[in-house]
Structure 1
Amino acid sequence: MSLLRNSWRQLTSMRTALVLLFLLALFAIPGSVFPQRSIGPEAVDRYLRDNPDTGPWLDRLQAFDVYSSVWFSAVYLLLFVSLVGCVVPRLKAHAVALIRVPPEAPKRLDRLPAHADDLDHDGDPEAAADALAALLKGRRFRVARRGRTISAEKGYLKETGNLVFHFALLALLGGMAAGGLYGWHGNRIVVTGDTNGFCSSTQQYDEYDLGTRVDAADLARFCVTLDSFRAEYLDSGQPSLYRARMSYAADGERGTRTVEVNHPLRLADANVYLLGTGYAPTLRYTDRAGRTQTITVPFLPQDNALTSYGLAAFPDANIGLTEPDGRPAQVAFDGLYLPTVPENVAHGASLFPAERDPRLMLRAYIGDLGLDSFRPQSVYALNFDQVEGKMLQASGDQFALKPGESHTLADGTKIEFLGTQPWIAVSVRHDPGEKVVLVGGILLVIGLLGSLTGRRRRVFFRVTPDGVVAGGLPRSEYEGFAAEFEQIVESARAALGERTREKAGSRDG
């Protein structure tokens, strides 16, 4: 029992709370350094591709899911318990201090850090005590008079600010916990056009994460379409403007809104945030039977200049036809899209993110690509481990196309590059703790200001037949207390001297 009691005292001590708060801030650093799946899963995939040695180890350590990791959650819960155990007793003590009157004055005021014994009165101790009590009340002290002794106290704002600060921390932690339990988010790539919209459901999100108390039926019901998108860039290639025009339908309401970074589409039960953008080439393929199929496929950016990689598969091409060896004649193209091609196309990287001189570099694959294997496959890249049998290349070399150009393959089929459509990556989020976190953040600042500006101190006066003795005691570190005490004494001396002059004047009259 003593071990549990000592452990509880240690956990709820202010020192432990500060250590846990420091650890929470320290453990949150990887969330800013490494891409997070909850915000940009494509950035995580890119990091894993670029760092094949360290990436998997970081993934095992949950560096890409910091805020839902086991180690972050453990510190989070310990901090919450520590704050509760630390703040609740202090709240009770502070409530008692607010109700309780200032304590009695010490017998020896001259032993206090600040004191004065050279004050005189007009010979009426009761009137002098009344004047001193009125003076301290005028300076917003809490005053208690006991006979001819006045006790005054001021500066409860410091402890009030401390408590508000700590309860604001609890509100922040509680709001984050509510978001983790009852919140959800989903990411989706949306291409411009009426036929490329999506409705909120787990089947239509590219990636989603549901809170522990949320299932698929709890998602907000709405549909969104990207009508148009405009991006502007500085000469350095840094984006200066992302602006999307989106139509939506939710709960019988329809409308159109402009969405920008940090200015989401706000719906009743979810917000739609704009995260990034890219290009979706439109390709038309004419197969061996003369049938055409047109698709628009998002290519994923590989760098800040929007050099993009993607896959265009035509599952309905060459239906019923086979290769000479009997394998299906399935067709797919993969390659790079360069919005601004360099002088040397073989360099393989765009010079600028805007479409100044675009090129689409493709490689064709014809054979058994596993498109009808009924196994999950990526829509952005061929998984060669899932290809059935030997894959045959129709053209071993890459070919580059400008918008409007075409290329004829060795088997007589043709691929045409019709142009591109912009796409945006959106994150749909529902966070029931968002307002709690906002209020907690505001109270955090208010409490911190109160804690830093509040100065608790006590002032005492004792009126005797021979004069007045004063003493002062700062209850917290306060370098300006001596000067304030001197001002109070001077004001008291002036108030008592005024009474002396009034009495003398009444006698002369």
Structure 2
Amino acid sequence: MRTALLLLLLLAIAAVPGSLVPQRSSDPNGVTQYFASNPDLAPVLDNFQMFDVYTSAWFSAVYLLLFVSLIGCIIPRTKHHLEALRARPPRTPARLSRLAGYTERALPVPEGSSVEAAAEAAIARAATQLKKAGYRVERYELRGEASVSAERGYLRETGNLVFHTALIGVLATVAIGGGFGFAGQRVVVEGQSFVNTLAAFDSFNPGRFFDPTSLEPYRLTLDGLDAVYETQNPDALGQPIDFTARVTVQGSDGEPAARTVKVNEPLRVYDTDVYLLGNGYAPTITVRDPDGEIVFTDSVPFLPQDKNLTSIGVVKVTDGLDEQLGMVGFFYPTQTTLSSGAFASSYPDLVYPVLTLNVYAGDLGINEGTPTSVYTLDPTGMEQLTGGKTGVDSLELMPGETADLPGGRGTVTFENADPDAAGGEYAKSVPRFASFDIHHDPSQGWVLVFALLILAGLMVSLFVPRRRLWVKAATRADGTVVLEYAGLARGEDPGLDRAVAEFADAHASPVE
């Protein structure tokens, strides 16, 4: 048991890194951003599997050792417990005065009865009362002194074994569920849809035994994402209060149904759980060639960098121009200028949205077929046209504005998603995106069952006392007979002394 407790503590410590750095299984975008923000530290952490903590070799080793240790603990304890259930209560000790709660009571002798008969009747009555109280009872006779030995509380050890067995059940079902389940992530912009097929996920982490044909297709459309921020308390201005993703779900054999997904309130649909992981803005950007033909238009998710949603995004124009273009953009929902002259966002909602773009021309490095992240741009071998040391200001746009690309390469437009709004109103001018985690775990029901068994076993093991109780008709040196009572706790039992005294009072009272 000491080994199991030590391994359980070690497992808890081993899980800590999973909450300190983003995990590929739940936040692949966060991992990408971590590599971009910490180019020296991230590869070192990756070598130690810090971005895959819960599937790492060292975490799995602790997990399996705990599993084996618990089994090694339960088997001998179960055998011992079964033997104890079949065993007789132990013999009455010769000296009850050495035990807890020891007390004496005078032997009530009814009129016309002998002391021996009264003692026998008292012991028989004690056995009956103890049985009614849930004790296992055994009569003993030692040196002519009758006694009864009683024991109860076997349910305490049963609860303890149920607790540990159910813990193994949780470990086993989580492992099995991980093998047959999957976790996938998808970023969806307002007005766009996601279809539950393998090719539609941005990232997908299947279990070892997962069958791709088992995916049940359904369509999830993000109708809107409502964000509520603190506006009354000046000390917490802009703090998020609530995020609600309004979605429409439609299966292959059903009607569209409106649903909502909130933080910590996932949507259960078609045997999958849909979690709302994060959100941000997705400015709609259109690039036209010198002839005015559209060569690129899309709502591009920008990754938030701070609490006021200063965000970074990348636009890659691969075709339609004389050479490929890459643009690194910074989006400020409420643009303000710092004392240093740099831009920042002072509030996370759309009050004064501004988009700045640094433009690069050259080879984007995607023609060779090498996969690249849509959230990063490698400027190696590309010519920077605006921003930085070029001497040319970054392109600066507000919703609905258009700017010329350097060198007559065409134009770029920051589209206004709400063109009917009055001037200066930007509440709906930029679409938002939601990052969803779609999770399937076939073991959830069993995990719930074992979790309830863990709780029940723990409650029983904590609140059911394991105790022994003895009653003996003891003969003193002067020939008088008294009733002796004593108990013994098998574990923590602060109420034992009181229980012995109460039983002695109830038993030794005159029989009507």
Q: Which runs of 4+ in 1 moved over 6 A?
A: none
User: Within 5 Å, which residues of 2 pair with 1:17-166?
Assistant: 17-122=4-109, 123=114, 124=117, 125-146=119-140, 148-166=146-164
Shift in CA distance, 493/363, structure 1 to aligned 2, threshold 3 Å: same
8 Å CA contact 2:359–2:384 kept in 1: the answer is no
1:482 to 497, 500, 505: 497
8 Å CA contact 2:105–2:504 kept in 1: the answer is no
SS of the residue 1:253 aligns to: coil
Letter of the 2:200 counterpart = Q
8 Å CA contact 1:330–1:371 kept in 2: the answer is no
SS of the residue 2:183 aligns to: strand
Paired position in structure 2 for 1:305: 308
TM-fit CA distance, 1:299: 1.3
Paired position in structure 2 for 1:433: 443
1:247 aligns with 2:243: no
1:343 to 315, 337, 344: 337
Paired position in structure 1 for 2:371: 376
8 Å CA contact 1:317–1:331 kept in 2: the answer is no
SS of the residue 1:23 aligns to: helix
CA distance in 2: counterparts of 1:68 and 1:374, whole angstroms: 29
CA distance in 2: counterparts of 1:53 and 1:408, whole angstroms: 37
SS of the residue 2:506 aligns to: helix
SS of the residue 1:311 aligns to: strand
Paired position in structure 2 for 1:225: 221
1:289 to 288, 291, 296: 291
TM-fit CA distance, 1:445: 2.8
Please list the CA deviations of residues 349-408 of structure 1 after superposition, one character each: whole Å capped at 9, or x if unmatched.
3122111110000123344444544432322232234x6xx5463784302111111112
1:276 aligns with 2:278: yes
Q: Alignment length, in residue pairs?
A: 470
Paired position in structure 2 for 1:447: 457
Shift in CA distance, 372/117, structure 1 to aligned 2, threshold 3 Å: closer
Letter of the 1:393 counterpart = L
SS of the residue 1:39 aligns to: coil
Paired position in structure 1 for 2:320: 317
TM-fit CA distance, 1:142: 2.5
RMSD: 2.4
TM-fit CA distance, 1:117: 4.4
8 Å CA contact 1:367–1:393 kept in 2: the answer is no
Letter of the 2:133 counterpart = R
Letter of the 1:171 counterpart = G
Paired position in structure 1 for 2:262: 260
TM-fit CA distance, 1:298: 1.2
Letter of the 2:66 counterpart = L
Question: Could you tell which deviates more after superposition, 370-379 or 279-288?
Answer: 370-379
8 Å CA contact 1:394–1:411 kept in 2: the answer is no
Letter of the 1:33 counterpart = L
CA distance in 2: counterparts of 1:274 and 1:127, whole angstroms: 72
8 Å CA contact 1:231–1:241 kept in 2: the answer is yes
Question: Could you tell which deviates more after superposition, 168-177 or 183-192?
Answer: 168-177
Paired position in structure 1 for 2:420: none
CA distance in 2: counterparts of 1:133 and 1:380, whole angstroms: 78
8 Å CA contact 1:278–1:424 kept in 2: the answer is yes
User: Within 5 Å, which residues of 2 pair with 1:353-502?
Assistant: 353-370=348-365, 372-385=367-380, 391=383, 393=385, 396-412=392-408, 413-419=410-416, 420-463=430-473, 466-494=481-509, 498-499=510-511, 502=512
2:179 to 170, 178, 181: 181
CA distance in 2: counterparts of 1:432 and 1:368, whole angstroms: 46
Letter of the 2:488 counterpart = L
Paired position in structure 1 for 2:202: 206
1:191 aligns with 2:189: yes
8 Å CA contact 2:18–2:53 kept in 1: the answer is yes
CA distance in 2: counterparts of 1:346 and 1:208, whole angstroms: 42
- TM-score normalised per structure 1: 0.85
CA distance in 1: counterparts of 2:104 and 2:373, whole angstroms: 88
8 Å CA contact 2:280–2:304 kept in 1: the answer is yes
8 Å CA contact 2:222–2:246 kept in 1: the answer is yes
How many percent of aligned residue pairs carry the same amino acid? Answer: 41
Paired position in structure 2 for 1:3: none
SS of the residue 2:199 aligns to: coil
CA distance in 2: counterparts of 1:127 and 1:251, whole angstroms: 78
SS of the residue 2:412 aligns to: strand
| Structure 2 unaligned residues grouped into runs of 5+ | 417-429, 476-480
TM-fit CA distance, 1:79: 0.6
Paired position in structure 1 for 2:422: none
CA distance in 1: counterparts of 2:337 and 2:451, whole angstroms: 52
Paired position in structure 1 for 2:169: 171
Shift in CA distance, 44/115, structure 1 to aligned 2, threshold 3 Å: same
SS of the residue 1:143 aligns to: strand
Paired position in structure 1 for 2:423: none
Please list the CA deviations of residues 262-317 of structure 1 after superposition, one character each: whole Å capped at 9, or x if unmatched.
22221232111111101111122221222124322111112222111112233343
Paired position in structure 1 for 2:421: none
- TM-score normalised per structure 2: 0.85
